[in-house]
Chain A
Amino acid sequence: MPEATLSVKDLLGLPEGGFPAEVLRAGISDEEAKSFKTKVTGALHGMQMSGLEAAVSSKLAEVLDIDPVTLFAGAWERYHLLADAAKKSKSGETVLVPLDEHSVKSTLHPYVEIQLGPDVLRRIELVVALSLKLKGIVVRVQSSEIRGIEAGSCQGSAEVSVAEKSIWKHEIKPIELPGRIALKKGIAIT
C-alpha cells in the first residue's frame, strides 16, 4: 500500500490528537483564559474546553495540509535555480534537474480565529519553522512547471510557537520524497 501524500502537517509529526492543548492558552494570562472559557461555555452550553481544543487543532491541521514541494518550489524560484530548465522545457522537452544537497528554511504563519457571532474571541497566530536538508533531489520539469520529484530525501527539524513561546518541537527523520509527493497540478516556474 503506498504511503500517504506528504504534507507540512506530516513533517511536524504531531500526535494523534493534533496540536497540544496549550495552543489555546498560550500567550494569554490566566484571567484572559478564564474569561475566554466563560464566553465559550456560555455560548455553547455543555461543551467542554477539550471539545473546542480538538476543533481548533483540527482546523490547524487543515490549514497546514500544504504540499511541501510548494515551499521548496518557492525557494528554488526565488534563487532562479530552475529558470534554465523551465526555458528548455518550453520546447516540449522533459528536463530532469539534479540539485546538490542544500538546506531550505521555511517559516509559515498560520492562524486560527474563534468567532462568537460577529466578535472574534481569540485569534491564535502560530509560527511554524521548518529547517529541511534536501539530499539527492532530482526535479522533473515539463512545460515550465515542476511536475514531480524523481529522487531525493529530506530531513531536518520543525518547531511550532505561539506568541514567541515554543509549544512543539520535532525532529524530521529522513523521508524519501518519490512516492510521497503527488502534485495535483504542476507548479509554474519562471
Chain B
Amino acid sequence: MVLCIAAAPVVCGQSPGKKTLPGPAFDDTKIINTATSFPVATVPQLYGMNRTEAGRILESLRLRAIFSGVENGVVVAQKPPAETSVRTGSGVAVILGVLPRVVLTGPAAPSYAGSDLTFTATLAPPIPDGIQVTYNFQWNDGTPGVPTKSAVVTHKFADAARRVVGVIVTINDRVKVAGRIPVDVVAVPPPTDTTPSDTSATTTTVAPTETQPTETTQTTIPPTETAPPATTTAPTTTTAQATTIPETPPGAPAQTALLLIGVVAIILLLTVVVLLVRVLRKMNRTPSAQAASPLSIKGGPGSVEVEIEHPEQIRKMPAVQVRGGIRADEGDDDA
C-alpha cells in the first residue's frame, strides 16, 4: 500500500483500492511527505541591526520583514527567533527599540585593597535568550581587560585608591554598550593586637643541652638544617626534637582558631563602626545641606484695569489699507 500525503496532511491516494487486508493496517506503509519540497530559510539573528539592515538581510533570504516599535530604533526582538527554519516568503516580526543600558554594580563599601571585590554587569532591559553577550571589564589599575561571557566577576585591587571600573558589553558581536562605577578602595585596617603574640613562642630559644652548650636553635629553622648535626651526635638529635615541640603544641590549633575568630570579629566590628559612622554622617549632613523649610519668593502680575479718557474722540481719521497680490498674466489667459 502506498499513501501520498500532500502539503496538507490529507490522504490523496491509496493502493490497492478498497481491498480489505487481513493484517493490521499500514504495516507496510510508505509515506511521502511532499511538504519538504517547499523552499525554506533560516531566520537570522537580527538583534542590534537598524531597520534598513534587518530589512535587507531578510529580503535577501526571501523573508518578509514586519516592523513595529520605534521608527529609528534598532532590532531588540524578533519572532520567530533566530535559527528557526521557515518557509520563504514568511513574515518575520521585527521589533525596533532602544539599546539596553548597562547597570554596573560593585561591592558594598568599604572595598578593601587586596580582597576579592565582586562586580556585576546587568543589561536593562534584559536581552532575549540566545544572543551572544561578551563583557570586557576595565579595572583602570593596569590590569588588562579580558573578554568574558560572565556578567559577574571578582577583582583584587592592590592599592587603596579611587578606581573607576568600566565594562564594555558587546551584544551579538555588533553592538557595544558601556557602563562604569567608581569604587573607593581603602586599605585594610590593621587588626587590634589585644593578646600577646603566640608566635613569639615559636621563636623561643630552646635551652641548650649539655652536649652542645653553645648551640641555640630556633623553630624557624627548617628541619633539614638540623640534619647534619643529627648525623654526628645523639644530643644534637635531641635538640632537633626539642625544636619541633613549640611548633606543634597540643593546644595550638585551638589557639589559632580562637585567634582567627578574634581577628575576624575585630574586622567585622570595625566594618560595622565605619558603616555606622558613614550613616550617621550622612544623616547629619542631609539637614545641614538642605534647609528643612526653604524660603521661596513667588510673584504674579495680579489684575489689570485700563481705561481711556474720551474714547469717542480717538478715531477721527480714516485708516490706511494696504493690499497686495499677484496679478494674473494676460498671456496665460490667452493660452
Contact = CB atoms under 8 A, between A and B. Distances in A.
Contacts of B319: 84-85, 88, 95-98
Interface string A91-119: 01111111110111111111111111101
Interface string A51-80: 010011001101110100001101110110
Q: From DSSP, what is the main secondary structure of chain A's interface residues?
A: mixed
B321 A106 contact: no
A115 B314 contact: no
Contacts of B12: none
Interface residues of B, number: 32
B295 A44 contact: yes
Interface in B317-335: 317, 319-324
B300 A55 contact: no
A59 B299 contact: yes
Nearest to A107: B305
A32 B292 CA distance: 23
Interface residues of A, number: 51
A43 interface: yes
A104 B308 contact: yes
B322 A94 contact: yes
A100 B301 contact: no
B253 interface: no
13 contacts: A43-B294, A43-B295, A52-B295, A59-B297, A71-B304, A81-B311, A95-B321, A96-B320, A97-B315, A104-B307, A105-B306, A114-B297, A121-B295
Q: Top 9 nearest A-B pairs by Cβ distance?
A: A117-B293, A109-B302, A79-B311, A75-B306, A94-B322, A112-B299, A96-B320, A63-B299, A59-B299
Interface of B: 291-311, 313-317, 319-324
